[in-house]
Amino acid sequence: MTSLFLLSMNTNRLGGPVPECIGNLSLAITTLALGLNPITGEIPRAMGNLVNLEILHVTNNILSGAIPFDVENLPNLTYVDLSTNNLSGVISSSFHKNKRLIALYLDGNHFHGHIPSHLDECQSLTMLDLSNNNLSGSAFPVVKTLLYLNLFDNHLNGSLPVEVGKIEHINSLDISSNMFSGEIPSTLGVVLVLVFVYACWLKKKKVQQPTLSSIADTWQNLSYSTLFKATDGFSSTNLIGVGSFGSVYRGLLQENETYVAVKVLNLTRHGALKSFKTECEALKHIKHRNLLKVLTVCSGTDYNRNDFKALVYEFMINEYGIGSAVSIRGDVYSYGILLQEMFTGIRHTAEIFKENLNLHIFIEEALPERVLEITDPILIREMESYAGESRSSTVQDCLLMVYGIGIACSVGVPGERMSITDVAAQLCSITDILYAAGLRE
């Protein structure tokens, strides 16, 4: 197969080890996806022969042992997901030589030792997840380009470095369940002003949504049997996505013909039960219209008398645009829609969107003249109060840039969407403009 450039075997029941002959595949192969299978054994060393590999997706298997090949021999790697396996050993110190690496997911394994000290040399890295491992030491990955960093549930210690403030554009940082000590660096206070304003808006906005307790009055605690039937036996054809602690399926409840999203926890996964309890507790307090509504929970046993826990959510239509396969471009699309919802205060499923009108088109047609008209009035008032009349034009320009990012990310055709690297660059530009105008707090 000398011309093979993509091999995807995701979401099957393929077992046994990955054969060594996989290294004899076409040198042109750029994508290897073996996720969501019961594949066992060690990663074959010969996989390191795939020198043009860009995407390696082998999440949610039962792989063990260390990563046997030198990742610097795969210079084109951009996306690596080896999460939720039984991999062990130390994390390769040569990842920093992969200058094109954008996303690295090694969470849910048994890696030990220190976090590699030179990850800050990864010039394109935006997503790094090392959570749920046995990592130790005080090394902290200060990678300036990061948007997402998860170190949850390791054995990391020491104080947080002042340099953490150099990760200027990060929007998700989780260092919980470690042994960090000392003071919180003041540099963590440097945030994007528009995000600060949005946080203030969320705090003051009083939108009443049903809580978990009130929902329980109208939705019964659905049984395993009901959810099994609703999802066709948790069929892979109904699989929507996979996370660190479980899988999400689309289901149709036969009694009232209601579509739901069923999040089934993988209780063999360390930390999954804690995640379930935490999410249930959080859902008691969340009151925000742009979040999925939880309908009920299921806590019991399956047909094999194993513990079974699931959360049942309101099912939302696909946010991935054309093509529903999980991908980086699909994630970019979802980010674009979320950004538009945040600043307009309008859900993309609102009743005003019918026939050929959607949130993307609604915003695109309004810009630039009606940018303030389509922005949530409460958000506008917060910005006016914070920025003052003298800097209102600067804030308006930044709003236009934010909407521009949302539109560019939510284009229907995946290949035409803005790259996550360009998104980060645009956010940097917005930050610079706001800082130059004196909006620094």
| pTM higher than the cut 0.75 | no
CB contact at 8 A, 343 and 376? yes
Of 250, 267, 256, the residue nearest 313 (C-alpha): 250
Residue 263 shares a structural domain with residue 337: no
**Domain contains 210:** no
What CATH number did the domain enclosing 278 receive? 3.30.200.20
372-380: long-range pairs with CB below 8 Å, 24+:
372/396, 372/399, 374/344, 375/343, 375/344, 375/345, 375/399, 376/201, 376/343, 376/344, 376/345, 376/346, 378/201, 378/204, 378/205, 378/345, 379/197, 379/198, 379/201, 379/343, 379/345
Tokens of 1: 């197969």
417 Cβ partners below 8 Å, 6+ apart?
329, 332, 333, 336, 408, 409, 410, 411
The pLDDT value given to residue 65: 94
**Domain contains 204:** no
Residue 229's Cα: distance from chain center in Å?
Answer: 29
**Domain contains 206:** no
Residue 371 shares a structural domain with residue 308: no
The pLDDT value given to residue 394: 81
- Which of these three, 262, 292, 314, is where a domain ends? 314
**Rounded-to-10 torsion of CA 366, 356, 262, 334:** -40
Residue 112 shares a structural domain with residue 237: no
What CATH number did the domain enclosing 425 receive? 1.10.510.10
Residue 292 shares a structural domain with residue 361: no
The pLDDT value given to residue 43: 94
Residue 342 shares a structural domain with residue 423: yes
Kindly list the averaged pLDDT for each block of 10 residues, start to end, along the chain of length 441.
79 88 83 88 92 89 90 87 92 86 90 90 87 91 84 89 75 82 66 41 42 43 85 82 70 80 76 58 46 72 85 68 55 82 82 79 88 87 74 82 90 81 80 71 50
**Rounded-to-10 torsion of CA 168, 172, 178, 182:** 30
Of 209, 204, 219, 142, the residue nearest 175 (C-alpha): 142
Amino acid residing at 296: T
Residue 227 shares a structural domain with residue 375: no
Residue 26 shares a structural domain with residue 150: yes
* 313 strand-pairing partners: 261, 294
The pLDDT value given to residue 212: 38
**Domain contains 269:** yes
Amino acid residing at 251: G
**Domain contains 243:** yes
The pLDDT value given to residue 267: 72
Residue 237 shares a structural domain with residue 383: no
Tokens of 88: 């062990």
The pLDDT value given to residue 274: 58
- Which of these three, 314, 346, 377, is where a domain ends? 314
Is residue 277 a known part of a binding site?
A: no
Residue 287 shares a structural domain with residue 156: no
Of 31, 32, 40, the residue nearest 13 (C-alpha): 40
Q: Tell me the C-alpha distance between 276 and 263, whole Å.
A: 10
Residue 305 shares a structural domain with residue 338: no
Residue 176 shares a structural domain with residue 69: yes
Domain span at residue 286 reads 221-314
**Domain contains 378:** yes
The pLDDT value given to residue 279: 56
Into how many domains does the chain fold?
Answer: 3
The pLDDT value given to residue 180: 87
Q: Tell me the C-alpha distance between 393 and 226, whole Å.
A: 55
Residue 175 shares a structural domain with residue 306: no
End-to-end Cα distance, the chain: 58
**Domain contains 213:** no
Of 207, 175, 202, 197, the residue nearest 188 (C-alpha): 175
